């Protein structure tokens, strides 16, 4: 199960960590796709610069559509374009798509199996000063319930670039999620990426940390600290929430006997829920959840908010201690012997 991704991640902490926004990879990929596929079109909800679609707009103005602050209509137009052979990328904030346009996504995109690529930018609490209204923490829960919807939460700029390109080559509706703030670059051009195939970034046998988005780096940071204290964590980058990589997940659970999920999303219904559902059917083990604790966010600096709401490497370390204690006592579910 060990792959090239783990070899590359091992060098992460031996060099200066480069910080870039994941959305930069999205913009880069759109230009690449525009050059290679004339059917790729982009629709923006009056957020061209923020969503990094400006590069595509300048290079392919005849394939770029500024839809204004009309997100429901934008999804409908995108679905119409897909019916005539186009591959439309819808770009706005996650608070608006899926937030404001869920009905159109459910029926026009999901029910009709439209070949649309929905991009939710500025997701998670790390939007920071924008506050609770724009800190979309429920989008993965919404999107993964839709039949046939692929859901991807890349961990850094390069992985977002690869995910965007792969999404264009996948027939059917896709939801791509990325944030606003700069995050450490965990992957490189050489790191393998395949939709639905998780990457093991660090090996271990005590606890498996299943993470995605910016929490992948936090998981690696926590695992590095714990390793110095004799606790060996496996770190799995589960970038695709749906379809979930059941094979890798079950392998990790069986090898480690305990798992932690870590995501920049509500604990309810996101990656943690998907992992728990899968393990309940295949290999139940003690599980702890890192994510937003059933709360709305607030305005603040991204790092301060991540610390306050328990989505940092420090919180992961505490969760590892807790789940190891449960593992040692033989408990599978909290409060049950």
User: 4-16+192-329 adopts what CATH topology?
Assistant: Rossmann fold (3.40.50)
| Signed CA dihedral, 4, 166, 217, 311: sign only | negative
Residue 3 has pLDDT above 90, yes or no: no
State yes or no: pLDDT of 335 exceeds 60. no
Would you list the domain boundaries of the chain?
4-16+192-329, 19-184
4-16+192-329 against 19-184: fold identical: yes
Average pLDDT over residues 183-192: 94
- What is the rounded (10 degree) CA torsion for 177, 182, 187, 193? 10
CB atoms within 10 A of CB 13: 11
Give backbone dihedrals phi and psi of 253, rounded to 5 degrees, phi first: -65, -40
Mean pLDDT value of segment 221-234: 96
Catalytic residue among 71, 166, 218, 288: 71
pLDDT confidence tier of residue 16, bands split at 50, 70 and 90: confident
pLDDT at 4: 59
158 pLDDT higher than 70:
yes
Map tokens 């994941």 to a residue: 22
Annotation marks residue 218 as catalytic:
no
Model pTM? 0.93
**Residue 111: pLDDT over 80:** yes
Question: Looking at residue 331, what is its pLDDT?
Answer: 55
pLDDT value, residue 15: 65
Q: Say yes or no to pLDDT of 14 above 80.
A: no
Question: Quick one: pLDDT at residue 6?
Answer: 62
Indicate whether 297 pLDDT > 70: yes
Q: Phi/psi zone of residue 295: left (φ > 0), alpha (ψ -120 to 50 degrees), beta? A: beta
Would the pLDDT of 139 be above 90? yes
Average pLDDT over residues 167-195: 96
φ and ψ at 65, to 5 degrees? Answer: -125, 115
**Among the listed ranges 7-21, 270-284, 292-306, 319-333, which one has the minimum average pLDDT value?**
7-21
Fold topology of 19-184: Rossmann fold (3.40.50)
User: Is pLDDT above 60 for 333?
Assistant: no
**Is pLDDT above 90 for 9?**
no
Is the bond leading into 98 cis (omega within 30 degrees of zero)?
yes
Residue 222 pLDDT > 80: yes
Read off the pLDDT band of 337 (50, 70, 90): very low
- Lookup: tokens for 332: 């599978």
Mean pLDDT calculated for residue range 142-160: 98
239-286 tens-digit pLDDT: 999 999 999 999 999 999 999 999 999 999 999 999 999 999 999 999
Percent of the chain whose predicted confidence (pLDDT) is above 70:
93
Tell me what pLDDT residue 11 has: 62
């Amino acid at each position: 199960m060990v792959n090239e991704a783990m070899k590359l991640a091992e060098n992460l902490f031996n060099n200066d960590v480069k910080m870039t926004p994941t959305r930069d990879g999205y913009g880069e990929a759109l230009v690449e796709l525009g050059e290679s596929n004339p059917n790729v079109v982009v629709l923006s909800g009056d957020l061209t610069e923020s969503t990094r679609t400006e590069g595509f707009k300048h290079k392919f103005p005849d394939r770029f559509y500024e839809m204004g602050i009309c997100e429901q209509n934008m999804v409908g137009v995108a679905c119409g374009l897909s019916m005539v052979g186009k591959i439309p990328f819808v770009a706005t904030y996650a608070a608006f798509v899926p937030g404001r346009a869920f009905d159109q996504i459910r029926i026009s995109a999901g029910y009709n199996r439209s070949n649309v690529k929905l991009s939710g930018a500025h997701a998670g609490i790390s939007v920071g000063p924008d506050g609770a209204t724009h800190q979309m923490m429920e989008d993965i829960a919404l999107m993964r319930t839709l039949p046939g919807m692929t859901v991807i939460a890349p961990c850094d700029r390069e992985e977002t670039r690869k995910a965007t390109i792969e999404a264009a080559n996948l027939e059917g509706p896709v939801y791509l999620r990325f944030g606003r703030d700069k995050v450490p670059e965990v992957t490189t051009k050489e790191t393998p990426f395949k939709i639905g195939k998780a990457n093991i970034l660090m090996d271990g046998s005590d606890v498996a940390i299943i993470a995605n988005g910016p929490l992948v780096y936090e998981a690696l940071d926590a695992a590095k600290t714990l390793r110095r204290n004799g606790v060996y964590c496996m770190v799995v980058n589960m970038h695709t929430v749906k379809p979930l990589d059941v094979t890798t997940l079950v392998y990790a659970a069986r090898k480690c006997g305990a798992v932690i999920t870590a995501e920049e999303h509500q604990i309810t219904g996101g990656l943690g829920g998907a992992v728990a559902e899968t393990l309940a059917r295949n290999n139940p083990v003690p599980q702890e959840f890192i994510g937003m604790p059933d709360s709305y966010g607030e305005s603040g600096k991204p790092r301060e908010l991540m610390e306050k709401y328990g989505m940092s490497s420090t919180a992961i370390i505490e969760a590892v201690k807790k789940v190891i204690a449960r593992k040692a006592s033989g408990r599978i579910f909290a409060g049950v012997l």
